[in-house]
Amino acid sequence: DEAWELTAETLTYSRAVGESYRIARNLHQLAEIDLLRGRTAEALELLAESISLNIEHGRRGDAALQMRLVAGIAGDTGDTLAAVRCAAFADANANALITMLPDDRAAHALRVEQWRASLAPEDWATAWAAGAAMDAAGADALISSLVTQVR
C-alpha cells in the first residue's frame, strides 16, 4: 500500500512537469503493484495509458515490453486471441526504442507457444497479423475489452 501511495504521489509530480517518460514509468509501476494486489482491471487501465504514452513518444520498445505483460493477463483470463494479438505487437516492436528494464523473454516465448498450440492455425494467423499491425488506438481498445472481462 505504501509503495502504491508513494508511486501515485510521484505520478502527480511527473504529470505536473509534463515528463512523459516518467509518467509512463509511474503508470507502469502502479500497474505492477495493482497486479500484486489482485486489481487486474485497474492495472490494465494504467497499462493502457502508459502504452499509449510510450507509442505517442516513440518508445515502441517500451510499449512492447508492456504488451507482453498485457498478453500474460489476457492469457490468464482465457482470452487467447487477445493474448496472441498483444504478443504479436510485442514481437513486431521488440527491437524498437527500449528504456525500461527488460522482462523475461524466455517465459513470454513459452506462453506464446502455448497459445499457438491452443488455437487453430487460421485463428492464430489472423490474431498474430492483427496484433503485429496494432497502433495505439488498437492497443487501447484491446486493453479496454480486457478490463471489461476482468471486472
Query: How do residues 117-145 score in pLDDT, each as one tens digit?
Result: 999 999 999 999 999 998 888 988 998 99
Predicted pLDDT of residue 94: 83
3-state secondary structure 75-104: HHCCCHHHHHHHHHHHHHCCCCCCCCCCCC
Helix H segments across the chain? 2-17, 20-36, 40-56, 60-76, 80-92, 105-118, 121-132, 136-150
> Whole-angstrom Cα distance, residue 69 to residue 141?
16
pLDDT in the model for residue 50: 96
Tens digit of each residue's pLDDT (9 = 90 or more) over 17-74: 998 999 999 999 999 999 999 999 999 999 999 999 999 988 888 899 899 999 999 9
CA-to-CA distance for 4 and 1, rounded, in angstroms?
5
pLDDT at 9 over 70: yes
Q: Which candidate, 82, 61, 76, places its Cα nearest to that of 139? A: 82
Q: Retrieve residue 118's grid coordinates.
A: 491452443
- 42, 34 Cβ separation under 8 angstroms: yes
Q: Is the pLDDT of residue 98 over 70?
A: no
Average pLDDT score over residue span 65-85: 94
The answer for residues whose C-beta is within 8 angstroms of residue 57's C-beta and 6 or more apart is: 20, 21, 24
pTM for this model (two decimals): 0.76
Is 53:85 a contact under the CB 8 Å cutoff? no
User: What integer pLDDT is reported at residue 97 of this predicted model?
Assistant: 64
pLDDT at 113 > cutoff 80: yes
